[in-house]
A and B are shown apart, each in its own frame.
Chain A
Amino acid sequence: MQIFEYNGSAVVAMVGKNCFAIASDRRLGVQLQTIATDFQRISKIHDRVFIGLSGLATDVQTLYQRLVFRHKLYQLREERDMKPETFASLVSAILYEKRFGPYLCQPVIAGLGDDDKPFICTMDSIGAKELAKDFVVSGTASESLYGACEAMYKPDMEAEELFETISQALLSSVDRDCLSGWGGHVYIVTPTEIKERILKGRMD
């Protein structure tokens, strides 16, 4: 059994026109038994930066707490929020520090940078940053997600169309993965608002 398949997860982020979307599934399992259907995988770091963590759930929560701590320290010292590129470098450094005994999770970071330019990136469990201009995926359903996003993605989509695209990509992919699913959680972030939506999916 692969360690990433212990809890099951699916996270995807996509870039739109001056906005971004980040979505995850909601299942938390212990191998083949589902123990929660409302697990929060995507967390807000500040109004314009979100991080979705897939992988072992305990490391997801620990890593999130460490990152929030470091960001709060940064806010106290610098009196401003972290840019998404800076935050990505911070996560990469924290993960690489544990190179030989890593956190067993893969983050997906999405944010709005200066001039409301959307930024997304993902990393493997030791912090190798992978920047993308279109979409990034992570989790047990990642192979299906790669296929679905590759086919459904179009550049420069507006917020509503982006929501529809990312939801369809997520739900189609988790339908083909036993370990993730049970609905979806989608955040669409534009410069003026954050729209959080919970999707109805197959509950199996």
Chain B
Amino acid sequence: MSQSAVDVPPKGGFSFDLCKRNDMLTQKGLKAPSFLKTGTTIVGLIFKDGVILGADTRATEGPIVADKNCEKIHYMAPNIYCCGAGTAADTEAVTDMVSSQLRLHRYQTGRDSRVITALTLLKKHLFSYQGHVSAALVLGGVDITGPHLHTIYPHGSTDTLPFATMGSGSLAAMSVFEAKYKEGLTRDEGIKLVAEAICSGIFNDLGSGSNVDICVITKGNKEYLRNYMEPNPRTYVSSKGYSFTKKTEVLLTKITPLLERVEITEVGEAMEE
């Protein structure tokens, strides 16, 4: 490592030191790695008292399912949640970053965060990276001005909608919404519709699968229903399990005993006056 690149906690932002080396490797014929994507179906809708967000739980790495039960509904503020599709690292990093910025903003202003604040912070960040930070988001929440639902595209454009879908399963989910959405849905009708839309994505889109997560946000209250529906349980589980008659051949064993963790309570004298 060069002398100037000392590894003290950096000032923030991205570092591009390895780009030249990676380009050289790509030119020599070595293909770049594929990132963890969240193929995904994410949806949101506005109902009578607030916003309902829904997401599937499959994370893919190329054609392989890397995570069967990942969380795609990210916390932004107590009254704002955000679903993310696209490159998993980007959605997680961008939502974490804006969530921290919103918290600092809440401390500074002394007020609850507004959805439009989160929207502006997200779109500014994504636009400045010209779409290279590949995060497509569905942002929803209820603030002092009422319930809001927005979609944010990786290049930084946004839409404000009464119902929205994003991700590879968005067409499947949108077909359900277009057929059955109406204004003034009750909480139960809304949850049922969101679950139906996500299921449509799960069953018809190969990039989405596993379970349905739902988040209901109303004025002053939020409910995160993790794994609300599990329409894909393991169908056959062998009761016996695997038993290995032929044991693995071990060449060498080294046992390191760990010291017991001792709680030291300081018994000392009081400070002299």
Contact = CB atoms under 8 A, between A and B. Distances in A.
Interface of A: 1-4, 6, 47-48, 55, 62, 66, 69-70, 92, 95-104, 106, 123-130, 132, 142-143, 146, 151-152, 154, 163-165, 167-168, 171, 183, 191-200
A42 B76 CA distance: 35
B112 interface: no
Interface string B24-68: 010001111101100000000000000000000001010011110
A101 B7 contact: no
B32 A100 contact: no
A48 B241 CA distance: 29
B19 A101 contact: yes
Contact of A192 (B18, B244, B251, B258): B258
A2 B250 contact: no
Given A3-B30, A130-B36, A96 B93 contact: yes
A113 B59 CA distance: 25
B256 A127 contact: no
A198 B251 contact: yes
B250 A197 contact: yes
Nearest to B241: A154
A126 B87 contact: yes
Given A183-B251, A194-B255, A1 B35 contact: no
A167 B89 contact: no
B104 interface: no
A196 B256 contact: yes
Contact of B33 (A92, A124, A199): A124
B64 A146 contact: yes
Contacts of B35: 124-126, 128
Contact of A66 (B7, B252, B259): B7
A193 B33 contact: no
Contact of A200 (B1, B88, B250): B250
A129 B248 contact: no
Contacts of A192: 257-258, 260
A164 B241 CA distance: 13
Contacts of B87: 126, 128
B248 A103 contact: no
Contacts of A200: 248-251
Nearest to A157: B241
A13 B93 CA distance: 25
A14 to B, nearest CB: 13
B196 interface: no
Contacts of B65: 146
A165 B243 CA distance: 9
A5 B17 CA distance: 23
The 3 lowest CB-CB distance pairs between A and B, nearest first, are A101-B19, A128-B88, A128-B89
A198 B242 CA distance: 22
Contacts of A193: 255-258
A41 to B, nearest CB: 17
Contacts of B248: 163-164, 167-168, 171, 199-200
A2 B36 contact: no
Interface string B210-254: 000000000000000000000000000000011010011111111
Nearest to A168: B244
A26 B252 CA distance: 14
B247 A195 contact: no
B133 interface: yes
A176 B179 CA distance: 48
A4 B244 CA distance: 32
B173 to A, nearest CB: 23
B10 interface: yes
A98 B18 contact: yes
